[in-house]
A and B are shown apart, each in its own frame.
Chain A
Amino acid sequence: MPDVTFTVDGNKLTAPAGTLLIEACKSAGIEIPAFCYYPGLSLQAACRMCVVRIEKMPKLQTACTTPVAEGMVVQTETPEIAQARKATLQLLLGNHPLDCPVCDAGGECELQDMTFKYGAADSFYAEPKNHREEQKWSPVVYFDRPRCILCYRCVRMCGEGMDVFALGIQNRGSSSVIAPNVPAQMSPDDLAHVDCEQCGMCIDACPVGALTSGTYRYKTRPWEMNHVATVCTHCGDGCKTTLGVRSTSDGAEIVRGDNRDKSGINGDFLCNKGRYAFDFANSPDRITQPLVRNSSGVLLPVSWEQALEHVGKKLRELRDTRGGKSIGVVGGNRLTNEEAYLLQKFARTVLQTNNIDHHRTADYVSFAQALAGTTGKAASQRDIEKSPAIFIIGGDPTNQNPLTAWNLRSNVRLNKARIYIANTEEIKLRRNAKAFLHVAPFGYSALADLMSGDDSTLESLVQPGTNKQVALDFRAALRAEEEVVVLIGSELRGGDLKKVIEFGTKLPGRKFALLSDYVNSRGAADMGLLPDMLPGYTPITAGSNLATEYNIATEPGLDMLEIFDAAGKGELSALYVVGANPVARFGVDPAALRNTFVVVQEMFLTETAALADVILPAANLYEKSGSVTNSYGDLQQVNKAGDRAGVRTDFEMIVRIADKMGANMRALVPFGKGLHADMGQTRGAQSGEADRHAVWLTANNLEPRLSPFDPMAILDEINRLVPGYSLLRLQLLSGNDQHLSPAAPSDLVQITNRRDLVLPANDGLFTSGTLGRYSAMLADLQQNAASRTAAAEQTAAD
């Protein structure tokens, strides 16, 4: 679109023709108020707040529906306009309950803000306000009709944004009311319900306090919270979430999750887990004291010093007597990059073992190997929003990676992107797809063949009875696309995964991403929580900078299954588990660990923790700082929000154990570097000072003195040593995401016949691995979904 020049309030502005006036003004720093306008959703022109005066037009015009035109002359703040807005507010306030002192939105309310600006506080109506009782639509969505100003943001967000269409409008005129898809009169229990994905986007979009959240309502006032921007711990999409934190007697309680900071890779979006499922952090089931099993087999609380001393002494003794190769280490998918890196470094250099693994939820090793030697072939989350075509093989983003699904839908809606889906299931996203190829059960291998041009296995690719031509047409349409992001589900592994990617890399305009299950599943693999790979997918067998620096044995260690096999054979002297529950995940026989010294760093008494000799109570991702890498390789900073007395971060515990073992601490954590500068010793929980200081210091080529407990010390080493992790620290500390594509040089990666050991968790909307079991809200939502299904069946039966 060519640019046009126009005048707003006397300022000459330029914008591409067709830009909406409200957006063009926003870009120029001129704010035009609006309730119903929401960027990216369909236009309503219903609230009439954005009215402006355009020369040569007889009436005031809505800036939200007027495209800028050459020579247009606009006034946005005249007495006439202010009066129009004031009158509209007076009309709204006439029926608004004005219960601001107890309203959740008080202090964060667009109606309040506009009333403040336009001074419509006087009311001249003598008649009673229209009233309706509040309704509970689901465990997380409550609706207070009197507060509703009928901007229809929620209706559009649910329909256009989420493709759920749970909300609509009932009645007309002043009786109009937002109503869920199961209105009371159609419901067996005479109550209105939303049968939906419970994402809470309607609440997020609501400009007033009409829609409130089941977790947050009437809990606190916005100004009583500190707001900490961090990354959601749940799925592999890595949404930025802002946690509202309030001080309590034993730390800092998280009371709210939302996405008020829209600068993240998730933009407007946050799903139900990011929004509500922070409550595990406040669970009464949390372990807040170190526990050590006594001689009669009972776990007893001890002091931190005693526990660490015990672990350090015991691990050192076992390493020295039975050798490092008798020790196994299991890391987690929700650790920060710094913790994962430190854990494997600790394992390899201090414990002297390569027996290290994690619960792999996607085959990132094959992914990295297939992309080795290429550049610009790894897609970022932001590419999903923009790419003209996306090919999704396997996976179910709607349920497993909700942000990915949101970006796909937005891309289709706003940019007319074309989505191609090949899946064994008829996943919901097919509603937005241009083409859907229904793959036969176990047909992904044949699909990989098809994509690489080998038609010999076509028979086992398509559903029985389907014309094979459908698959060929599907491939032809895809090949005709000039630019495609190939989004791969965790079903594709090893040779199949490589086949899809290797063929794709030969075509121009192809980028790839591999979806995984948890916030740092990708980071765990990138950071080398693998028996045969050092960080950055550097094979341990090959001579590399890392191996030289670590000065370690170069034969691969035991993988997850081998570790527990060894335990069963009595060959495993110690097992160190950090933030994982392998016993439940891999169905380990508890008896196998009978003769193993088990140390578990955990929040809860999980199946694994229950078998431990020592349990060290751990902080979760919301209670620590560092960085995480999402499925796409987008690196983001996490910031400490909550706090719980008695727990420690995994980083701190690893450092302390290493110290108790008598390790060379400066070799493990390169601390104490930098000029003397005041940035505080602990990275800021509430203040954000440390981060701000760090930004300034880095910008001025200064470095604060780092404590051994500062993940920043390890971040420097990651930056220096891990292939592909040459990151911009200033970007990271400023809260921006940056795309990385870690892969060792292609001459290093030729490992064949390795087991991928991928075990996708297949979490749905209301589950999140072991952690999810400790979220009361997720439990509520599961129960709600089950009872709604039962009610629907009952109705159908009636």
Chain B
Amino acid sequence: MPTLVSHPDEVKVISRRFGMGATDIDKYVELDGYKAVQNAIAEGPEWIINVMKASGMRGRGGAGFPTGLKWSFVPKQSEKPKYVLVNGDESEPGTCKDHVIFLHDPHAVIEGTMIAGLAIGSKLGFIYLRGEYRYLLKIMEKAVADAYAKGFLGKNIFGTGVDFDIITQSGAGAYEVGEESALMESLEGKRGVPRIKPPFPAVVGLYGGPTVINNAETIAAVPHILLMGGEAFAKLGSERNGGTRLFGISGHVERPGVYELPMGYSLRKAIYDVAGGVKGGKKLKAVVPGGSSCPVLTADEIDVGLDFDQMGKAGTMLGSGGIVVLDETVSIVEFALRTISFYQHESCGWCIPCREGTDWIKKTLTRVHAGGGSKKDVDNVQYLAENMLGRTFCPLGDAAAMPTLGFVKKFRKEFEDYIDGKKAGTPIITVDQLVGAH
């Protein structure tokens, strides 16, 4: 189990109960737990949505869509049951923030789910964890069972006459089901491939019913936001980027870990102050700022605030808050190959540009990495990535194309030098493994 880290610049909202034994339901209640949901029952859906809108909360899964607005899209009247779905399929390389939430504060997820349900008029929530989080699923399952035992879930919760149920579900181990509609397919027991949109989940979602699907961190923040007030939460962050979020800082830093920082916090400070700087005093080479799908930033580009808008202006993304720090020893060729290998492995295969594009980029980079590249290969990789971008069925193709483009554009010289033999590499995947791999 990772140890908890801390830094004075942190503003602990979501992580307030981390390390305080809040997995125990009594402890959770003692730490103001299940208060927000009772307020929510008393105040009603409109109030909840207004608080969420005022909070400036933007979806923590990576797309940054305003949460209050998303909830308000769900039709009030529906013939089919409405659902709340918690996306705990945290699979983006470099990201481990939901992990600590499930580990330390599972009841916040449950409470947030209930509040989301109240907001949209749903009586059933699903908490979906990635397949690899089976050990966390046990924690979630116990928390749900405890909540039922206390009468916080089920019929007539808190004696208010309101019913709400929660079902937990584990995935089977596919990055693709982090995409909301693919997750619904998976939850329904089908192949985890995305659905055609529109219709969007708010109208036709899980089992055809209107569905709100939110990232686990977003959901876990909801009880806190309700208790402190939307405006108060918004004030913590930067303009149009309310509150705080969990950043997982990993790679070549002195103090890797998950830190809760205000939105808009400086990336440079996050690396050099919060995470203690580059490990061993080495030179910073590059930063992948928001999970592996975000275009890389060079050492010169880190003077940027960590929020959705500033990162967008810097030509990259805030993404899922997974900051990967690379020092001068890292081979970008190898890093690019590792990155594309992940997406090639995780491509669901549904659409041509992603299925074939990731495969050909991986094959080409494998050969380049093994020392058999030519300069034309760099052009080809760029051509492939450019022609995947924006052309695929779901964002996975973009997630593979964007970092690849970042690498070959910003580090083109390193690729060319590598190909020229100025720097030898050791193959991480042999050509034998490629030939006849299928």
Contacts and interface: CB of A to CB of B under 8 A. Distances in A.
A169 B355 CA distance: 14
Contact of A172 (B347, B367, B384): B347
A173 B376 CA distance: 26
Contact of B434 (A84, A91, A127, A173): A127
Contacts of A127: 360, 363-364, 367, 434
Nearest to B392: A48
B175 to A, nearest CB: 10
A172 B353 contact: no
Interface residues of B, number: 37
Interface string A92-136: 101100000000000000000000000000001111101110000
B438 interface: yes
Nearest to A84: B391
B434 A60 contact: no
A130 B358 CA distance: 14
B345 interface: yes
Given A48-B392, A172-B176, A173-B359, 15 more contacts: A44-B196, A46-B352, A47-B352, A48-B391, A87-B353, A91-B353, A92-B356, A95-B356, A95-B359, A124-B380, A128-B434, A131-B436, A169-B191, A173-B349, A174-B356
Interface string A54-76: 00001110000100000000000
A424 to B, nearest CB: 35
Interface of A: 43-48, 51, 58-60, 65, 83-84, 87-88, 91-92, 94-95, 124-128, 130-132, 149-150, 169, 171-176
27 contacts: A43-B196, A46-B393, A58-B390, A59-B390, A84-B387, A88-B387, A91-B356, A91-B360, A91-B384, A92-B356, A95-B359, A125-B363, A126-B364, A126-B367, A127-B360, A127-B367, A128-B434, A130-B438, A150-B352, A169-B191, A171-B349, A172-B174, A173-B348, A173-B359, A174-B349, A176-B349, A176-B355
A174 B344 contact: yes
A169 to B, nearest CB: 7
A124 B376 contact: yes
Contacts of B348: 172-173, 176
Nearest to A145: B438
B339 to A, nearest CB: 15
A87 B356 CA distance: 11
Contacts of B383: 87
Contacts of B435: 128
Contacts of B436: 128, 131
A767 to B, nearest CB: 37
Nearest to A86: B387
B91 to A, nearest CB: 14
B349 A175 contact: yes
Contacts of A130: 359, 437-438
The list of the 5 closest CB pairs from A to B, nearest first, reads A176-B349, A87-B387, A91-B356, A174-B359, A173-B347
B357 interface: yes
B355 A83 contact: no
A128 B391 CA distance: 25
A699 B351 CA distance: 50
Contacts of B346: 173
A174 B364 contact: no
A173 B351 contact: no
Contacts of A169: 191, 349
B393 A48 contact: yes
B308 to A, nearest CB: 17
Given A65-B196, A126-B367, A83 B352 contact: no
B438 A131 contact: yes
Contact of A175 (B390, B393, B438): B438
SS class, residues of chain B in contact with chain A: helix
A29 B318 CA distance: 45
A83 B387 contact: yes
B357 to A, nearest CB: 6
SS class, residues of chain A in contact with chain B: loop
B350 interface: yes
Contacts, number: 106
B174 to A, nearest CB: 7
A47 B376 CA distance: 27
A94 B361 CA distance: 12
A768 to B, nearest CB: 38
A87 B384 CA distance: 8
Nearest to A35: B352
A60 B390 contact: yes
Contacts of A91: 352-353, 356-357, 360, 384, 387
A131 B434 CA distance: 11
A130 B356 CA distance: 11
A150 to B, nearest CB: 7
A295 to B, nearest CB: 72
A51 to B, nearest CB: 7
A719 to B, nearest CB: 51
Contacts of B391: 48, 51, 59-60, 84, 87-88
B367 A45 contact: no
Contacts of B438: 130-132, 174-175
B63 to A, nearest CB: 14
A150 B393 CA distance: 14
A368 to B, nearest CB: 47
Contacts of A48: 351-353, 391-393
B355 A125 contact: no
A48 B387 CA distance: 11
A47 B392 CA distance: 9
Contacts of B353: 48, 87-88, 91
A51 B437 CA distance: 32
B360 A94 contact: yes
A124 B391 CA distance: 20
A46 B391 CA distance: 10
Contact of B196 (A45, A126, A128): A45
A130 to B, nearest CB: 4
Given A125-B363, A128-B434, A131-B438, A94 B356 contact: yes
A679 to B, nearest CB: 51
Interface string B352-391: 1101111110011001000000001000100110010011
Contacts of B392: 48
A23 to B, nearest CB: 16
Contacts of B434: 127-128
A173 B344 contact: yes
B74 to A, nearest CB: 22
A196 B149 CA distance: 50
A626 B194 CA distance: 52
A92 B345 CA distance: 18
Contacts of A65: 196
A45 B393 contact: yes
Contacts of B352: 46-48, 88, 91-92, 149-150
Contacts of B344: 173-174
Nearest to A176: B349
Contacts of B360: 91, 94, 125, 127
B207 to A, nearest CB: 17
Interface string B423-437: 000000000001111
Among B346, B367, B384, which residue has the most Cβ atoms of chain A within 10 A? B384
A656 B75 CA distance: 78
A172 B192 CA distance: 10
A367 to B, nearest CB: 43
Contacts of B387: 83-84, 87-88, 91
B380 A174 contact: no
A68 to B, nearest CB: 14
Nearest to A49: B352
B401 to A, nearest CB: 12
Interface string B133-157: 0000000000000000000000000
A93 to B, nearest CB: 9
Nearest to A125: B360
A53 to B, nearest CB: 11
Contacts of B393: 45-46, 48
A126 B346 CA distance: 23
